[in-house]
């Protein structure tokens, strides 16, 4: 390492440490409370969030970042996804970008509760995990249809209903192969495509929760931003957008205002390999540059501004923060995956979640039912083809009945019931 790059690394480290100090101060109180007495045996307060370890108070909103990154995928950050949990029991997903399904699963929330998705636009980094929630969410315990709200476009082919219909078609073989073998009640969608030009239009009004949309300006016509209001609290999710007048007007007074803040132009060139011309276009005209993000937040003055849609690394964070600071000095979270905001009228608490990666399905919120072969027969009829194995494939089965039959007997003994061993010559077994 040259002395110049060592000096640059030291400068970057100092910037990051100061940024961490400042951000920590703005989000975690003044740090002047009496120090806790330390015991060798008693548990201490902790300042991180462990899923499934805290009740949500009736007047509280909890927001968890399940994706904060970019269309260029990386293990450390999924693409756009924010989960909103409300004290009335409702939960909403705003965008489900690629990689977010794994983050969602690690929160161990019963999938029946994760049935409402709002899509800001149809870029893959904002809905790339939809298929995983459609199929995987059902296999992990969602027994109700997935409800999807998303914008129309300038033509039917550019709208949400078209995208979801094609997704369902893409999974034809997948679903055919599960019918009669799994509880497939959750492999169903309910699409609510709405007019992308609607200005502060109500899309959802149930159980004291009102969700609205207004247009965003990004790539081509179609993208939108959302607000969610409940119990006197206001959450705003901007999606991808160039700064726009509607956000300035309708995001005002938000408790949490999430707005994209794109990678700074020099890093788009250096790290993403764009030409300077393309970097300037994408980093300032298609998306919101950090300086412009700050200007937006200075105008709407939320209780907490949340920036996302950049790769948050040791050598990008300081620069993003400095650029935002040129135009904004209010409360700020530079989001990363698993950042958590607990919001009440009195306080916004910002922490990181510590999650278990080796999770299985969360508990079922409604009982599973035994698979029904009638489902498969109905699809067979619809497609006009027998779904199952042909004699040619059946004939390829190698006989392991002698080791499988005892598994059926073992289950029978354990549960005090008889389980019929399938007839290996039947095509659907």
Q: From 12-20, 237-245, 338-346, 387-395, give the range in contact with Zn ion by CB under 5 A.
A: 237-245
Q: Which of residues 97-126 bind Zn ion (CB under 5 A)?
A: 123, 125
Q: Which is nearer to Zn ion, 263 or 269 (CB)?
A: 263
Q: From 106-114, 232-240, 295-303, 381-389, give the range in contact with Zn ion by CB under 5 A.
A: 232-240
Q: CB of residue 126 vs Zn ion: minimum separation in angstroms?
A: 6
C-alpha angle 263/302/284, rounded to 5°? 25
Q: Are 240 and 260 in contact (CB under 8 A)?
A: yes
Q: Which is nearer to Zn ion, 139 or 282 (CB)?
A: 282
Q: CB of residue 394 vs Zn ion: minimum separation in angstroms?
A: 47
For residue 337, the SS3 value is: coil
Strand partners, 206: 209
Residue 240 binds Zn ion, judged by CB under 5 A:
yes
Q: Which is nearer to Zn ion, 98 or 105 (CB)?
A: 98
Q: CB of residue 194 vs Zn ion: minimum separation in angstroms?
A: 18
Q: Which of residues 19-78 bind Zn ion (CB under 5 A)?
A: none
Q: Which is nearer to Zn ion, 242 or 250 (CB)?
A: 242
Residue 193 binds Zn ion, judged by CB under 5 A:
no
Q: CB of residue 10 vs Zn ion: minimum separation in angstroms?
A: 33
Cα first-last separation, the chain: 63
Sheet with 304-308, side-by-side order of all strands: 201-206, 209-215, 224-230, 233-237, 256-260, 304-308, 332-334
Burial (CB count within 10 angstroms: exposed 0-12, middle 13-18, buried 19+), residue 75:
exposed
Q: Which is nearer to Zn ion, 123 or 142 (CB)?
A: 123
For residue 370, the SS3 value is: coil
Q: Which is nearer to Zn ion, 178 or 309 (CB)?
A: 309
Q: Which is nearer to Zn ion, 264 or 387 (CB)?
A: 264
Q: Which is nearer to Zn ion, 240 or 319 (CB)?
A: 240
Quote the crossing angle between the two packed helices 317-325 and 290-300, to the nearest 10°: 50
Q: Which is nearer to Zn ion, 62 or 126 (CB)?
A: 126
Residue 95 binds Zn ion, judged by CB under 5 A:
no
Q: How many CA atoms lie within 13 A of 64 on its CB side?
A: 26
Q: How far lies 262's CA from each of 8, 287, 325, 341, 367, in Å?
A: 23, 6, 15, 21, 44
Q: CB of residue 73 vs Zn ion: minimum separation in angstroms?
A: 12
Quote the crossing angle between the two packed helices 3-27 and 317-325, to the nearest 10°: 60
Q: CB of residue 285 vs Zn ion: minimum separation in angstroms?
A: 13
Number of residues that bind Zn ion (CB under 5 A): 3
- Cα–Cα distance between 25 and 43 in angstroms, integer? 24
Residue with tokens 């990008």: 316
Q: CB of residue 134 vs Zn ion: minimum separation in angstroms?
A: 20
Q: Are 237 and 82 in contact (CB under 8 A)?
A: yes
Q: CB of residue 68 vs Zn ion: minimum separation in angstroms?
A: 11
Q: What is the dihedral of CA 156, 159, 165, 169, to 10 degrees?
A: 90
Pairing mode, if any, of strands 224-230 and 209-215?
A: antiparallel
Q: Give the residue among 118, 175, 104, 107 at the shortest CA–CA distance from 146.
A: 118
Q: From 162-170, 207-215, 233-241, 374-382, give the range in contact with Zn ion by CB under 5 A.
A: 233-241
Q: Which of residues 123-182 bind Zn ion (CB under 5 A)?
A: 123, 125
Alpha-carbon torsion (291, 295, 297, 301), positive or negative: positive
Q: Which is nearer to Zn ion, 263 or 343 (CB)?
A: 263
Q: CB of residue 189 vs Zn ion: minimum separation in angstroms?
A: 22
Measure CA 386 to chain center. 37
- Cα–Cα distance between 142 and 381 in angstroms, integer? 26
Q: CB of residue 282 vs Zn ion: minimum separation in angstroms?
A: 10
Give the binding site for Zn ion (CB under 5 A).
Answer: 123, 125, 240
């Amino acid at each position: 390492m040259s002395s110049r790059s060592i000096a640059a690394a030291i400068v970057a480290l100092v910037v990051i440490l100061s940024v961490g100090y400042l951000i920590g101060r703005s989000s975690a109180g003044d740090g002047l409370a009496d120090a806790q007495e330390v015991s060798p045996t008693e548990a201490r307060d902790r300042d991180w969030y462990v899923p499934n370890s805290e009740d949500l108070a009736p007047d509280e909103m909890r927001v968890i970042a399940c994706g904060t990154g970019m269309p260029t995928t990386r293990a450390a950050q999924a693409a756009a996804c924010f989960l909103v949990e409300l004290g009335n029991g409702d939960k909403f997903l705003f965008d489900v970008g690629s990689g977010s399904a794994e983050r969602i699963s690690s929160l161990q929330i019963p999938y029946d509760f994760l049935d409402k998705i709002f899509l800001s636009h149809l870029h893959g980094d904002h809905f790339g995990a939809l298929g995983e929630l459609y199929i995987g969410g059902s296999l992990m315990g969602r027994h109700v249809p997935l409800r999807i709200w998303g914008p129309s476009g300038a033509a039917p082919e550019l709208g949400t209903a078209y995208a979801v219909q094609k997704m369902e078609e893409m999974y034809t073989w997948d679903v055919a192969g599960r019918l009669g073998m799994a509880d497939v009640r959750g492999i169903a969608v309910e699409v609510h495509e709405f007019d992308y030009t609607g200005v502060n239009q109500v899309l959802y009004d149930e159980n004291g929760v009102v969700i609205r949309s207004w247009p965003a300006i990004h790539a081509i016509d179609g993208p939108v931003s959302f607000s969610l209001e409940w119990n006197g609290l206001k959450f705003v999710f901007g999606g991808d957008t160039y700064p726009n007048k509607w956000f300035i007007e309708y995001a005002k007074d938000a408790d949490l205002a999430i707005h994209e803040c794109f990678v700074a132009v020099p890093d788009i060139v250096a790290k993403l390999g764009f030409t300077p011309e393309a970097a300037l276009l994408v980093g300032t005209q298609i998306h919101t540059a950090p300086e412009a993000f700050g200007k937006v937040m200075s105008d709407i003055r939320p209780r907490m501004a949340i920036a996302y849609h950049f790769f948050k690394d040791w050598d990008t964070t300081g620069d993003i923060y400095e650029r935002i600071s040129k135009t904004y000095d209010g409360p700020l979270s530079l989001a990363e995956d698993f950042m958590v905001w607990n919001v009440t009228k009195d306080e916004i608490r910002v922490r990181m979640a510590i999650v278990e990666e080796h999770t299985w399905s969360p508990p079922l919120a409604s009982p599973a039912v035994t698979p029904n072969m009638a489902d498969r027969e109905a699809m067979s009829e619809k497609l006009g083809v027998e779904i199952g194995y042909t004699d040619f494939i059946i004939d390829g089965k190698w006989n392991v009945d002698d080791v499988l039959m005892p598994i059926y007997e073992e289950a029978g003994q354990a549960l005090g019931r008889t389980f019929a061993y399938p007839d290996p010559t039947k095509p659907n077994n």
